[in-house]
Structure 1
Amino acid sequence: MKAFRKEVVFVIDISGSMRDDPLEKTKYEVIGSLWKLNQGDSFNILASNGEVRSFSSSLELATEETIMNATEWLNTNIVADGGTNLLLPLKQAIQMVGKTCDSIPLVFLVTDGAVEDEREICNMMKGHIVDGELNSPRIFTFGIGSYCNHYFLQMLANIGKGCHDSAYDVDSISFRMQRLLDKATTPLLSNVILDGLESHQLFPFRLPDLWSGSPLNVSGRFEGNFPDIVKVKGFLGDLSTYVIDVKVREAKDMPLDMVCARREVGTLTAQAWLDQDRKLEEKVAKMSLQRGVPSEYTRMILVQNDNVKPPLNSVLPKEKYSKSKNQRISCPMNLNVGFGNLIATAENLPPGIEELQLSEPAAKVMQAALYCWTVFRDRFCCKCFIRTCGQVNDQCAIALAELCTALACFQCISCCCDTCDSCTEMCSCL
């Protein structure tokens, strides 16, 4: 297949909080991504800490010489200092790309902080995104730590028909950023549409392109009789139209609504944040209760009766539970990410420097377990892991089964199904 010609602009937050590992690992992955560009692709790099520094005043062809010059520029001129400003560099990035009709513009934003004009940025980007146009910018966002507003970054990526990823700890920056960059720079089918679905609600609401090595997962709602075949249309690298007939199958033994619940809750939460829609917040809370997925508007609690083995209750709103004489209620650590921390960003606090204060030992254990699960999930393929389990002895298999049951109680299995691309193939094999 002929590869798409790409125009790539990297927007890097170089505020003081990005010093040391976050910035150095970002530089390394950006440089590695430059060397993977094809002949004919072009790029530029913008670094922002209140003022914008650019590698070039315009896009440069991705030749060996320009990539070596960009590497030297990054290593010698870019240091972490100053504050966080995202609107100005994003404006400049959008103005640089999309001037030709035969290339795909890609804008990558990397930040670890929150800014006050996030809604303004989203609304500004809406005016630059045109459905059905090849040269409409694709926006990919990567958040580092817990101080940035991940719902803003997710909404920005949804508007720009891209995707969002994050690293809550410094050790996972390289792996997750490389995965995002590799996926986004290898489009196979552009301007994807689902033909024949006239009444539907999709998550994400703007379909991204189909990327190499990553399935295109779409969920949503439909009213009426669902067709037997859904036609998926898009453009190939030679700008010809390609149509895929996707046969519809009914899922009988697989709870697909639970697999998709986490992403739908996240998408609607980002929309509720952008629109400041109270009714949509209530809808997200209701969905969270029905499907047992934590949200920003609900909270997980543990209810223990005096003479009964403590069960794990579903997600409940903070105001919906009360203590009684026969119950002891404990609240594990907050499983949500919040909407950013403007104070920590203004003070240039590095990611993770303010540890969450946990009052109960169980909450500390929960935090450690979630961190270990995140590291494990990022570095191992679910399908390969299950195949490996088939080779172990009976005693080890029993221990693994008990571990998986425990993880399922905390929705880790659903989270894995929603985040690991390999699970799509795994589920079809099972």
Structure 2
Amino acid sequence: MLARVPTPKPFHKTLSLSFPIFNLRRSLAVLRDGISQPEASPMADDFAKAVEDGIRLSKRIYFGKDRSVSPPKTESMDKSLQSYLPTAPMVYAVISDPAIVDNPDIPSYQPHVHGRCDPPALIPLQMNGITLEVYCYLDTAFVTVSGSWRVHCVMGSRSCDCRFAIPMGEQGSVLGVEVEVPKKSYCTQLIAMDDRTNVEKAVRPETGGFLKPHIFVLTIPQVDGGSNLSVKVSWSQKLLYCNGQFSLGVPFSFPEYVTPAGKKISKKEKIQLNVNSGTGTEVLCKTTSHPLKQQRRHVGKLDFLYEAEVLTWSSTDFTFSYTVSLSHIFGGVLLQSPSVHDVDQREMFCLYLLPGVQQSRKVFRKDVVFVIDISGSMRGKLLEDTKNALSAALSELDPKDSFSIIAFNGETFLFSSLMELATKEAIENATQWIGMNFIAGGGTNILLPLNKAMELLSDTRGSMPIIFLITDGAVEDERHICDVMKSCVTNRGSKSPRIHTFGIGSFCNHYFLRMLAMIGGGYYDAAYDADSVEFRMRRLFTQASSAILANITIDNSDDLELEVYPSCIPDLLSESPLTVSGRYRGNFPDTLKVRGVFADLSNFVVDLKVQMAKEIPLDRVCAKQWIDLLTAQAWFSDDKQLEEKVAKMSIQTGIVSEYTRMILLETEEGKKAAGSEVSKKVDSRKQAESKGQKIILLPSLGVGFGNLSATAENIPPGCEAAKLPEAAEIFVKAASNCCGKMCSCCCCMCCIQACSRMNNQCAIVITQLCTALAFLGCLSCCSEVCCSGQDGG
């Protein structure tokens, strides 16, 4: 006799009906949140809501009596949506039809569910094993995560899409993803922008891309219930540096509901860490989040390993910090020959300088002008965070420093026509002035305030002139601005102001800001996510104000031809190491002489030891810096050949660029997939054609070159329009047809935008009203045609 399997509680989710306006409710809610709260990310908010729905939906799954893991408790539903965003590599089942949700091993009697999930729910899959490998070179870390997940929530006879979410660390750049499922395998590759042969034209946003600036998502189509997925993902990220200490942080905190149900299931967790500082000096481990065991120790190198059977997965991010024992400025030069597949066959070099840990190191006296965008798009939280960061920067100035503030939109507003000493009284006056004059409104004009800042800093003596430019918009005369600033820098020489730039959101031209910083010998940073604006802006203010060595130059012999990135070497900061790299022809000497000036105006000269980088892949370590800087130069000069060079370099190294697109290659079992090694990525399209692979084009992963129309309309960053679901698109098409019969001042799309500001109760009332009017219209038709006895034909 068969034992009866208990019936789970019915799934109480509001499902979409056939009437199109109900399918819009979620999308309208997302649009409403994005408009009323510019700091929110519509895509991330929608993703978090889908995960919340998926966790509720997972209550339908019956694990049997012998289980060690319970489904999420009801009170967890009260968490904020941010708590449902991934904090470690995760895989989700994409559920449109809730009826397919069940245990593939133990089918149960499920209550029938009507309707579909629109947008689809995301059920986190259970994880069977995870391995983290990290290789640290100089200031860059290369991270590889390999894991196994099981589609534990879908009937064995059904299938669903599976979505991967990969959160990355500081300035993370995805390098590649490889996936194996039964009978198929997938891998990502990069192709040139104009290489679209045999690539699927229909690109859905949910196929892949960035959910948030640090979270990469990718969807694998139609995976059978009960199947196991093996995933390998790689990315690069920057190491943080503070007080002589390098720090690494990798998202590695897994929620409890990804732990497999059942006591007998093996759960293996492994972390491998390799550090090569490149300095050839002693490296000391300071802190670690996981119980690492030292495997090997050499001068400048450390190897660690952690491997264990666990009851639950890691609940904390993996962090590690180490110091290089140096009490003074120290540096070196590393050389490497190019590979046979390298786009540029010139030799490579990388020069680094570490500030050391001398706490008494004197920083330069500063004359600082803050140039702040207060256009209409900066309204709300963006402007408040900017004001907070600016106030903190003013409070950190030395009384001997001087400062001024220029707020700009279409006009400029000056705190003072002269530079003011950073006394307590002046800072208080500046704080009051900021509160009264930082009112968001108007357009964006960058050249006018920059010229004014140059005038304010035209007569600085014995101090370092600095300009901080903060903006969230793009302007039409950006190349002209670069030309004007380049001319100013050339005319003033070593006394020209350092120009540090900070971009907010995706509407500003980040390559213009990067180029401007390169021209001005400054640093560039950005906050693509509105939530990180204050933190990153304060960090830029603090770091860029801590210069201890300026006017750095390299003595170059006649038989050595150097191409340095960036071309104008920035200052060495006490809060950050300096790394410049590039290509060369000729013979490097045994030592390279570097010169500079200290804050007390004394000269600095050091002979840096030159050595071959035997175990450090310089081409990978320097690739992102080269691609970013060359892209800025290609934009500035409008050089098509340089664009092609960047595209080839991007394909070769796996670093995403503005001139390449990522594709997903699907290979059926029995057909060998194109290799993921760099040497096999040169012509992915021809490889795919010869092997009969399916190629899917993913959405563009670049940040673009600014959005002039969004800037002109003063659209706040983070308010990009969310893509409506399929049913909503049908409704929009129907709306566009009826608009032709209505007056031009009103249309259904206007109604949709207006509905984005409604609450749910108001939307329900309008829906009921529309339904009633439609019903009355049917009654009127019946009374006039049918009931009157007339022939309707």
Cα deviation code 1:258-312 (max 9, x no counterpart) = 1110110111111111111111111111211222211111111111112258778
Matches of 2:531 and 2:714 in 1, distance apart? 20
Whether contact under 8 Å (2:674, 2:688) holds in the other structure is no
Aligned residue in 2 for 1:45: 405
- Asked whether 1:336 is paired with 2:698, we answer no
Matches of 1:127 and 1:219 in 2, distance apart? 25
1:170 to 527, 530, 541: 530
SS in 2 for 1:217: strand
Whether contact under 8 Å (1:132, 1:191) holds in the other structure is no
- Aligned runs of 1:306-345 on 2, under 5 Å? 306-307=668-669, 326-345=692-711
SS in 2 for 1:303: strand
- Aligned runs of 1:159-238 on 2, under 5 Å? 159-196=519-556, 198-238=560-600
- Asked whether 1:75 is paired with 2:448, we answer no
Whether contact under 8 Å (1:2, 1:237) holds in the other structure is yes
Matches of 2:417 and 2:691 in 1, distance apart? 69
Whether contact under 8 Å (1:301, 1:316) holds in the other structure is no
Whether contact under 8 Å (1:103, 1:134) holds in the other structure is no
Aligned residue in 2 for 1:15: 375
Cα deviation code 1:402-421 (max 9, x no counterpart) = xxxxxxxxxxxxxxxxxxxx
1:242 to 604, 611, 615: 604
Matches of 1:66 and 1:224 in 2, distance apart? 54
Q: Which amino acid aligns with 1:340?
A: G
| Shift of residue 134, structure 1, vs aligned partner | 3.9
Whether contact under 8 Å (1:229, 1:248) holds in the other structure is yes
Aligned residue in 1 for 2:475: 115
Aligned residue in 1 for 2:649: 287
SS in 1 for 2:522: coil
SS in 2 for 1:248: strand
> Computing the radius of gyration over CA atoms, which structure comes out larger, 1 or 2?
2
TM-score, scaled relative to structure 2: 0.44
Pick closer, same or farther for the CA change 1:342–1:322 going to 2, 3 Å: farther
Pick closer, same or farther for the CA change 1:163–1:107 going to 2, 3 Å: same
Whether contact under 8 Å (2:368, 2:404) holds in the other structure is yes
| Shift of residue 49, structure 1, vs aligned partner | 0.9
Aligned residue in 2 for 1:261: 623
| Shift of residue 319, structure 1, vs aligned partner | 8.6
Pick closer, same or farther for the CA change 1:40–1:354 going to 2, 3 Å: same
Pick closer, same or farther for the CA change 1:305–1:246 going to 2, 3 Å: same
Q: Which amino acid aligns with 2:664?
A: L
SS in 2 for 1:269: helix
| Shift of residue 76, structure 1, vs aligned partner | 2.0
Aligned residue in 1 for 2:58: none
Cα deviation code 1:347-367 (max 9, x no counterpart) = 11110211565999xxxxxxx
| Shift of residue 135, structure 1, vs aligned partner | 2.1
Identify the structure with the greater helix proportion: 1
Larger CA deviation: 280-289 vs 7-16: 280-289
Pick closer, same or farther for the CA change 1:356–1:120 going to 2, 3 Å: farther
| Shift of residue 77, structure 1, vs aligned partner | 2.0
1:300 to 658, 662, 671: 662
Aligned residue in 2 for 1:398: none
Matches of 1:107 and 1:238 in 2, distance apart? 21
Structure 2 spans left out of the alignment, 5+ residues: 1-360, 727-793
| Shift of residue 133, structure 1, vs aligned partner | 4.0
SS in 2 for 1:182: helix
SS in 2 for 1:119: helix
| Shift of residue 147, structure 1, vs aligned partner | 0.4
Whether contact under 8 Å (2:362, 2:548) holds in the other structure is no
Aligned residue in 1 for 2:465: 105
| Shift of residue 330, structure 1, vs aligned partner | 1.8
Matches of 1:334 and 1:39 in 2, distance apart? 48
Matches of 1:139 and 1:68 in 2, distance apart? 25
SS in 2 for 1:218: strand
Matches of 1:230 and 1:326 in 2, distance apart? 52
Whether contact under 8 Å (2:665, 2:688) holds in the other structure is no
2:385 to 14, 25, 33: 25
Matches of 1:222 and 1:337 in 2, distance apart? 30
- Asked whether 1:151 is paired with 2:511, we answer yes
Pick closer, same or farther for the CA change 1:97–1:317 going to 2, 3 Å: farther
1:62 to 422, 429, 441: 422
What RMSD over aligned residues (CA atoms) do the two structures have, in Å?
2.4
Pick closer, same or farther for the CA change 1:292–1:124 going to 2, 3 Å: same
TM-score, scaled relative to structure 1: 0.79
| Shift of residue 172, structure 1, vs aligned partner | 1.0
